[in-house]
Structure 1
Amino acid sequence: MSPTQPIYLDYHATTPTDPRVARLMLHYMTEEFGNASSIDHEWGDRAETAIKQAAKEVADLIGASPKEIVWTSGATESINLAIQGSLARNLTKLHRIGLMPIEHKAVLDTCRALEKRGWAELVHLQVDSRGRIDLEHLEQDCAEGLSLLCVMAANNEIGNIYPIQKIGQIAQHYGIPFLCDGSQAVGKIPIQFEEWGITYLAISAHKFYGPKGVGALAVRRGYPLEPLMFGGGHQRGMRSGTLNVPGIVGLGEACRLRSLEMEVDEGAIASKRDLLQTLLLKKLPGLVVNGDSSSRLAGNFHISIPGIPNSAVIARVRSQLAISTGSACSSGVEAPSHVLQSLNLPPRIIEGAIRIGIGKFTTEEEIKEAASVLSDAISGIGKVLYS
């Protein structure tokens, strides 16, 4: 990190592309630039081979078959394809969709759009004040019948990790297709697509050191989807369009590297997160840690400073620290977090909420500097507001 640049602590929004991934992508941009759908010459053959290898790397990371991988532009498209594509196979009935109120906007807004069209009824799964899901209530909803169940693997704000294996077993028991938004979890925690009974798994490369603008949807065999767009019938008719070979190769390489390095990296990241938490709690005894501290992503540190507006903190530190007040999914629109509102947290907690995301390229020196900058800024704001 350049000394003139703020310390980057917004890894939930996006991660730096691993230089090894970028080098491989450049090769497929400038030298092996063939179209994977060109079947009449070797350039196309080599591009197709690269795509198949990338599918194998993705499948190996998530415990799926390469034939179950559909390439997309990212998790938002993957989620839309799964929700709309599964329900569009039968529009003669009102579909009941079970989902947590703290899902990513890509899930919530898609489901709400279908509800407005009269195609779906939304069933909100229960979560407590720490964002933990009520599995007994979930099973009751499943027993009453759902057309689709949507539960994220890990929350993009508070970092909670959800018991996807148990949820998949419940969904399978009741014969309910299960969409899991894995965008924050893939490459950070183990996931077994086939074994855990997941029907659709959304993946986004830029959340684990791959490029932006490319992702995948794992689609369980026997659960084909109606396409969102048409033209050419690519990818078994589920997603037409010329494949983004450099991006897909980059996603595949990012998955290969996570398979090799995830366990060690995430352990080191958790140690840095814990160091930051220790340092800040020592200097700011009133600090509140949000979410489920016993089951969260290694790099997640979601805090609130009651009585100190998060906008004031961001304004003071933005030249030194890259942190956020919430999700990066709302086009820069400043609004209270729907996640924290759904947890029924007090306004003082919501207004003082800050999301910090730590990654593999974060150094211990940066953690110590960030703790100093944050504590000084918050203490200074407190003096101005309450002196």
Structure 2
Amino acid sequence: MSDPARERAVSSRSNAMIYLDHHATTPVDSRVVDIVTRAMLDDYGNANGVENLHGERAASIVDRSKASVASLLRSDPADVHFTSGSTEAIELALSHAIASGKAPLRVGLSTVEHKAVIDYVLRAEGLGLCTKVWLPVNDEAMLDWTAFETALHSGLDLVCVMAANNEVGTTYPITEVAAASHLFGAKILVDATQAVGRMEIDTEGDNLDYVVVSAHKVYGPKGIGALISRHFEPSHLTGLRGAHQATPNVPGIAGMGRAFEIMEMEGDEESRRLALLRDLLLRRLQALVPGLVVNGSEKDRLPHNLHVSAPGAPNDIVLLRLRGQVSVSTGSACNSGAQEPSHVLRAMGLDAARIESSLRMGLGRSTSNDDVKIAATLIADAIADVRSSLSGESYA
């Protein structure tokens, strides 16, 4: 694949890595860093200790951040409950649904839900606290609506359908899913971790019972997320957690609030820009990589997501070729190190060749036109090298 112009472009980035793994995490926005630093150095009071001015100021930061999160998600600030991230929020939501519902809770969950949802439901089922009903998807990871309606008719208490898939980027008609669920008396849990700020989430308008979000997917700090629910009260949960109120992570909460403010102001424009760059990346890869296929829906997809397969080029070897040049991934960061194939791609019914050669790319706020052009060349070269070294087979 020798091309002098391409070689010059690649060499110009020889000392800089291109980051295309924004689904795993995002770099913290400098505007967020400023407010986190201020909360750590100036507003360092305990937000639970409002009997003094330092605590009162910290509590005020928490309240303002609740309002920012609620504004983007169209909810009541009183319904925003901060957590350590999406995983804790998911576990709290499911624990609450089980504790406040009739036992065993009948839970319907799509086969492509995040592993945090699936693993919790399987553990709860093993303890006799719930029974699961799988909601299948098609080969684009879209919900099988006929099977979903059949499951609702059979009787469900809780439906778990994410707003957007964290691997292939397919988005879901949450408004319609919520309406159908409520019609049959089921509550709904929406994992909006990847979708928030990138597609509309109307918590109150759609009467969403539980919504889960995280700051580090939208240029905020790690270790802070939220459960948005009008139903949730920590006192409803029993066990060893106790009734004591944990000390709020004020710097993290402040950063999350600011990150959500920025997404509300700039998210639409950013999504339009990234969708154009994503399409440019796809066109370049299609031109350079014979046999490339797109996974997930090309119509109903997150604007910054591209998930492809290049049969004949195992993704683990491709990633080794790209190490230090372009950061992409094979799937969910939460499954890192797992040797088993993606449960999402298996649920979609993809064949082994597509699964083992799949790559997930997530564009972000700092991604430029040049990044996309150079990354496409580097990725294409890596795939060609792997194909050639393994078999010598031509994919032209």
Coarse TM-score class (shorter-chain normalised): over 0.9
1:4 corresponding residue in structure 2: 15
Q: Deviations over 1:57-102 (max 9, x none)?
A: 0000001000100010000000000001210234x62221000111
Task: Give the alignment's Cα RMSD to 1 decimal.
Answer: 1.7
Structure 2 SS opposite 1:153 = coil
User: How far is 1:219 from its partner?
Assistant: 0.6
Alignment TM-score, normalising by the size of structure 2: 0.93
Q: Is structure 2 residue 33 aligned with structure 1 residue 22?
A: yes
Gaps of 5+ in 1: 235-240
1:237 corresponding residue in structure 2: none
2:241 corresponding residue in structure 1: 230
Aligned length: 380
Match for residue 71 of structure 1 among 82, 107, 116:
82
Kept in 1, the 8 Å contact 2:309–2:359? The answer is yes
Structure 2 SS opposite 1:158 = coil
Give distance in 1, aligned partners of 2:147 and 2:73: 28
Give distance in 2, aligned partners of 1:229 and 1:98: 27
1:132 corresponding residue in structure 2: 142
Q: Flag the 1:209–1:222 CA change in 2: closer, same or farther, 3 A.
A: closer
Q: What residue identity is the alignment partner of 2:59?
A: E
Alignment TM-score, normalising by the size of structure 1: 0.95
Structure 1 SS opposite 2:100 = coil
User: How far is 1:141 from its partner?
Assistant: 1.2
Match for residue 154 of structure 2 among 141, 144, 150:
144
Match for residue 295 of structure 1 among 297, 300, 305:
300
User: How far is 1:3 from its partner?
Assistant: 5.9
1:252 corresponding residue in structure 2: 257
2:6 corresponding residue in structure 1: none
1:169 corresponding residue in structure 2: 179
Give distance in 2, aligned partners of 1:231 and 1:66: 24
User: How far is 1:380 from its partner?
Assistant: 1.7
Kept in 2, the 8 Å contact 1:72–1:78? The answer is yes
1:376 corresponding residue in structure 2: 381
Q: Is structure 2 residue 191 aligned with structure 1 residue 181?
A: yes
1:269 corresponding residue in structure 2: 274
1:116 corresponding residue in structure 2: 126
Identity level (%):
40
Q: Is structure 2 residue 94 aligned with structure 1 residue 89?
A: no
Structure 1 SS opposite 2:81 = strand
Could you list the structure 1 runs, at least 4 aligned residues long, displaced by more than 4 angstroms after superposition. Answer: 221-225
Structure 2 SS opposite 1:278 = helix
Gaps of 5+ in 2: 1-11
Q: Deviations over 1:335-384 (max 9, x none)?
A: 21111011111100001111111111111111111011011111122222
Match for residue 52 of structure 2 among 41, 61, 64:
41
2:9 corresponding residue in structure 1: none
Kept in 2, the 8 Å contact 1:63–1:192? The answer is yes
Give distance in 2, aligned partners of 1:31 and 1:385: 58
Give distance in 2, aligned partners of 1:43 and 1:2: 47
Give distance in 2, aligned partners of 1:135 and 1:205: 31
1:238 corresponding residue in structure 2: none
Kept in 2, the 8 Å contact 1:199–1:223? The answer is no
Give distance in 1, aligned partners of 2:76 and 2:18: 39
Give distance in 1, aligned partners of 2:307 and 2:39: 38
